[in-house]
Structure 1
Amino acid sequence: MQVDDEPKTLQSPTRKLVLLVIFCLAQFLDGVNNSSLLSALPALDDSMDMTSSQSTWVISAFQLTFASFLLISGRISDVYNPKTAFIGGVFGICVISICSGFVNDKIPIIICRALCGIASAMTIPSALSLIVNVFPDPLQQAKAIGVFGGCGAVAGVFGLLIGAMFVEWVSYHWVFWFSAIVAAPVALAGVFLIPPPQVAETADSLEPTAAKWKSLDLVGIGILTIAIILFIFAVTSGSTDSWASAMVLAPLIISILMMVAFFYWETLIPVENAAIPPRTWFYNNFSVLVVVGLLPYFWWFAVATIFNTLWQDIFQWSVISSAIHIVPICVTGFAMSFTGSLSRKFSPKWIILTGLSLCMVATMLLVFHGGSPDDYWPYVFPAFAIGSSGAMLIFTHGSIAIFQAVPSSMAGTVGAIFNSALQFGSAIGIAVTTSIETSVEATHGGPQEYAGRAAAFWFLAAIVAVQFISISVFYDRSTDHKPQPKHGEHGYPARLSTEPKEKHDDDGKVIVAMSASPQLEV
């Protein structure tokens, strides 16, 4: 039985559109949850008497658990029912956000943020898996993934504006309650509108529960999850503590060793039970596209964080004024999310290279920014518009290309890997740029001078250049616009199945019997 050869459940165009809106709202929620509190941190600090390092963990706790639990969420979506994972995740965001709005102490709020990250991690791979199934046509799928990705990327920056408005005009509590207000109808609509899994659509429905449980690869996922938690903890702590401290070096070294142990473990277990079969990385362009995924969130959040701090702390702009000046990132970025159809006309390689070129131009404008409020229109505004457009092209067409590189039944896991790359890029990039900015400011006039921020943007420009070279050299165009690979191709594991097998008795009559143990099929 071939999952990719099975007919998909036909949905009306209207229902497909409504479903896409539901999935995009979940993506929007995750982006807002990740960024809206940046504007609310000063109010949280005053209300809960937190230090700057403690308030950092209000943001980091969400990013830490979100990135760490993406892979297990992807495996659950692929092995079990993505509808259940999606609705459960959105409902979890609703409940946790309501509770967070009533919390007035620093430890409980950090715990709530960590739990919200886990719930959010359940929504992304499952939503991507559902999109791939609802939109089997390559052109429609490319457009849908593009819009879905655009909503998440833009929401990450748009959340700054939402948080600023609530802090300025109401209170920071409404930053949490806003998420609950959006999540509740999304979860309810998902219950009634998302189609149930069809037996004809998945071979997993024929697998015994024990086989599905083994397919989760809980040992491998557990090793990798702990490694990711320790790694992000280390790089996040490095921006506030010394990089040479034991609190940074110990978890960093342990996380690297555990990642090595994970990949070794994946070579020891049966390939059909591996969370990420080793040969997955050898699908055409898969590895280079994962590397590309490190850049978009890094660019958006580094730029937004640096200028948000500059405008509020140095220029003394209000929270709402700072957020409004970041709006060009939202508008131009979202506009580029509708370019998904270009991937069917042009090679994703050239589109991604175009995006990287735009990011380079924008980053160089920010390097030569004079550090004055008067430089917003000649330098910052065009840099925001050009760079955000480029980052969205990279994000959208990197997403489309990576889903076309692997079997559709692997959508949940692939979505988890790509989104983990996005979070890794953001966490690591912001930690490094913050360290560069701080160290340069210590010897070049302090935060009042622009030298530290210019150095951070030079580092960002170097990353963009490395990405440009990697795509130019390693991206293979030979499989552009070709059908997605099937199970058993390019080393992807065959499915477990308990299909009825034909047997013949001595008279030649056919006896149909269920096989006693799972059989491999290609």
Structure 2
Amino acid sequence: MKTNSRWISLLVLCTGFLLIVVDMTIVNVALPTIGRDLRFTPSGLAWVINGYLVAFAGLLLLAGRLADLVGSKRVFLLGLGIFTAASLACGLSTSQPVLIGARFIQGVGGAASSAVILAMIVALFPEPEEQAKAFGVFSFVASAGAAVGLLAGGVITQVVSWHWIFFVNVPIGIATAVLGYRLLPARPGLGLAEGADVLGGALVTASLMLGVYAIVSGSSLHGLLAVALLGAFLVRQARARKPMLPLRLFASLRLSGANTVQALMSAAFLSFFFLASLDLERVLGYGPLALGLAFLPVAVVMGCFSIRFAAALVMRYGAFRVLVAGQLVVMAGLLAVAFGPERAAYARDLLVPMALLGLGGGLCFPALTLIAMSEAPPADSGLASGLLNTTGQVGGALGLAVMATVAAARSAALSGSGTPDLSALAGGYHAAWLVSAAIVLVTLAITVATLRPRATVALAPAVYEEEEAAA
């Protein structure tokens, strides 16, 4: 495949993924308006987010394995079609059940299309240097898309209406699907007979959906049921002749470590966006547009380093060192906001931490993706892609739940001691950011313990040979 065609194909894949990532945050800014228009209760309004999240996180692993069996291009285009059609339904919604149902279907399409993208990038860019550049572009879209969504949500909701945060997906989704059909290479899958473990697929999908439901709703009963189903799935995979998820993948300490780091980094990073948006709105009084603009430095700095510098740094110093450097920078950014003043001035107190978070994300996420995907054999690349996305989503959901609980508990304690309401709110957010910084410190320890470079790696030897030479 010609070099220009490969980079155009990457652009198509990243555009499809940008739709998914932006949709996760663009809705957050519009939630108050949606709640007023459709007369949601606070608990009901949460399911505009949760309905999407349950389907998305629950189906990522199944979609990744399905891509290995029937072909990544088919699964990507099918998912993009479902997501685009569901976006139209969301925009046309005039009642609560229709909107929540359409959001669930959006999650199904989002899972199918996004689960296969990493595997398709690996196939498009087998050479280490080009692969590092491609992962840098992807990681920028994955991480900075959250900030783009907040900005777009603020602009669209304020200028037009909340319906258009969904309608804008339709022409972009159609154009991306047409280009994807024409440009993306079609590689045959292994065939359904090589791993069509229907029972295993049902068990893991039900377990993940119930697990995410338990996290977002705080239901211990559903959490226990999710753990039981996960146990049954693992037993099934150990005994099945052609398992959906070969447990041999987890024999790789590096793959297991990379997925653990992905989950915890996602927990820290995504919970910051959520709580920072609340802090800016409730404590500092930012409107939708100002709130979106506040996160722009994260997107700009992350874009510069993910696309322009990350690949060169990985090739020069190795993925491990770049990952560690990124984690340290993210931790510094979180500590800066955690110990900052409650009535922060943006230019003085928030601009530099936002830039640090963008820099850290631009360094660590491309390097982590490269390490994780290098451990998977080509026949399991779709599954490895789905697994990495799943750990990121489940980690992000768990992180949001935990950090929201930490913030609420600290705010309640401060209010109980006579602290004014706004100060108590700010104190809760700052406490949660401090815990997030501690989580990044844990990921740093896991990285050092499990992801140190070794002499040879099958997929991207040059990256790791650089590391060995520099050691």
Give the TM-score of the pair, scaled to structure 1.
Answer: 0.84
- Once the 2 structures are TM-superposed, how far is the Cα of residue 455 of structure 1 from its aligned partner? 1.4
- Alpha-carbon distance in 2 for matches of 1:464, 1:296: 6
Rounded Cα–Cα distance in structure 2 between residues aligned with 1:36 and 1:98: 15
Instruction: State the distance in 1 between where 2:439 and 2:117 align.
Output: 30
Q: Do residues 70 (structure 1) and 60 (structure 2) align?
A: yes
Confirm whether residue 308 of structure 1 aligns to residue 288 of structure 2.
Answer: no
1:401 matches 2:371: yes
Q: Aligned partners of 1:33, 1:216: CA distance in 2, in Å?
A: 31
Name 1:432's counterpart in structure 2: 402
The CA deviation string for residues 96-124 of structure 1, in whole angstroms up to 9 with x for no partner, is 11121110111111111110011011112
- Kept in 1, the 8 Å contact 2:306–2:363? The answer is yes
What CA deviation, in whole Å up to 9, does each residue of 1:249-300 have, x standing for no partner? 1001111122122112111112xx1122112112251010001111343333
Per mean C-alpha deviation after superposition, the further-off stretch among 276-285 and 162-171 is 276-285
1:219 — aligned with what?
199
1:448 maps to a residue whose letter is L
Give the corresponding residue for 2:239.
268
SS of the residue aligned with 1:104?
coil
**Residues 191-235 of structure 1: CA deviation (Å, up to 9, x unaligned):** 11122336xxx6x2xx5x5x24xx132211211111111111111
Segments of structure 2 that go 5 or more residues without pairing to the other structure are 462-471
User: Is the contact between residue 65 and residue 114 of structure 1 (CA under 8 Å) also seen in structure 2?
Assistant: yes
Which of 447, 454, 466 is the matching residue for 1:471? Answer: 447
| Residue identity opposite 2:139 in structure 1 | G
SS in 2 for 1:316: coil
Task: Verify the 8 A CA contact 2:150 2:291 in the aligned structure 1.
Answer: no
The equivalent residue for 2:16 is 26
Q: Is the 8 A contact 1:407 1:484 kept in 2?
A: no
In 2: Cα distance, 1:76 partner to 1:482 partner? 24
Please give the per-residue CA displacement for 1:19-67, whole angstroms capped at 9, x wherever unaligned.
0110000110110111100110011010000122211111121111111
Find the counterpart in structure 1 of residue 230 from structure 2.
Answer: 259
Other-structure match for 1:448: 422
Q: How far does residue 482 in structure 1 lie from its aligned partner after superposition?
A: 4.7
Report the AA paired with residue 435 of structure 1. T
Amino acid in the other structure paired with 1:430: L
8 A Cα contact 2:265 2:443, kept in partner = no
On the 8 A contact 2:77/2:181 being kept in 1, the answer is: yes
1:360 lines up with 2:331 in the alignment: yes
User: Structure 1 residue 447: deviation in Å?
Assistant: 4.7
Say whether the 8 Å CA contact 1:284–1:476 is kept in structure 2: no
Contact 2:127-2:460 at 8 Å conserved across structures: no
The aligned runs of 1:295-374 (5 Å cut-off) are: 295-338=264-307, 339-374=310-345
Tell me, in whole angstroms, the C-alpha distance in 2 between the residues paired with 1:393 and 1:64.
29
Answer with 1 or 2: which has the greater Rg: 1
Q: Secondary structure of 2:263's partner?
A: coil
Q: Which runs of 5+ in 1 are unaligned?
A: 1-10, 239-247, 486-522
1:9-408 counterparts in 2 under 5 A?
Answer: 11-197=1-187, 204=190, 211-212=193-194, 215-238=195-218, 248-270=219-241, 273-338=242-307, 339-374=310-345, 376-408=346-378
Change over 3 Å in CA distance of 1:478–1:258 after alignment to 2? same
221 and 315 in structure 1: CA distance in 2 versus 1, 3 angstrom threshold: same
Mapped to 2, the partners of 1:316 and 1:135 lie a distance apart of 46
* Counterpart position of 1:514: none
On the 8 A contact 1:40/1:163 being kept in 2, the answer is: yes
Report the alpha carbon displacement of residue 372 of structure 1 after superposing the two structures with TM. 0.7
1:241 match = none
SS in 2 for 1:16: helix
Q: Is the 8 A contact 1:296 1:394 kept in 2?
A: no
Asked if the contact 1:74/1:413 (under 8 Å) is kept, the reply is yes
- The answer to whether the 8 Å contact 1:217/1:275 transfers is yes
Residue identity opposite 1:295 in structure 2: L
CA distance in 2, matches of 1:289, 1:77: 22
Question: Take 1:482 and 1:194, find their aligned partners in 2: how far apart are those partners?
Answer: 25
Give the distance between the partners of 1:373 and 1:367, measured in 2 at CA: 11
Higher alpha-carbon deviation: 77-86 or 441-450? 441-450
Give the Cα separation in 1 of the matches to 2:137 and 2:446.
26
> Relative to 1, partners in 2 of residues 1:195 and 1:471: Cα closer, same or farther, differing over 3 Å?
closer
Separation in 1, partners of 2:83, 2:247: 33
Report the Cα distance in structure 1 between the residues aligned to 2:144 and 2:246, rounded to whole angstroms: 32
What TM-score do the two structures reach when normalised by structure 2? Answer: 0.92
3-state DSSP of counterpart to 1:295 = helix
Superimposed CA distance per residue, residues 139-191 of structure 1 (whole angstroms, 9 cap, x where no aligned partner)? 21222122112212211221011111000100011100111121110001111
Shift of 1:344: 3.0
Tell me the secondary structure at the aligned position of residue 54 of structure 1.
helix
What is the match of residue 497 of structure 1? none
Please give the root-mean-square deviation of Cα atoms over the aligned residues, in Å: 1.7
Measure, in 2, the Cα distance between the counterparts of 1:420 and 1:483: 22
Does the residue aligned with 2:186 lie in a helix, a strand or coil?
coil
Q: Which residue of 1 aligns with 2:468?
A: none
Question: In 2, are the aligned partners of 1:30 and 1:152 still within 8 Å (CA)?
Answer: no
Q: Once the two structures are superposed, what CA deviation does each residue of 1:479-514 show, in whole Å capped at 9, x if it has no partner?
A: 4555469xxxxxxxxxxxxxxxxxxxxxxxxxxxxx
Number of residue pairs aligned between Structure 1 and Structure 2: 453
Q: Secondary structure of the residue that 1:448 maps to in structure 2?
A: helix
Given that 1:87 and 1:123 are in contact with CA atoms closer than 8 Å, whether structure 2 keeps it comes out as yes
Contact 1:405–1:484 (CA<8 Å) still a contact in 2?
Answer: no
Answer 1 or 2: which has greater helix percent.
2
Tell me how far 1:311 sits from its aligned partner.
2.1
CA distance in 2, matches of 1:334, 1:78: 30
Q: In structure 2, what residue type is equivalent to 1:370?
A: P
Once the two structures are TM-superposed, the CA of residue 370 in structure 1 deviates from its matched residue by: 0.8
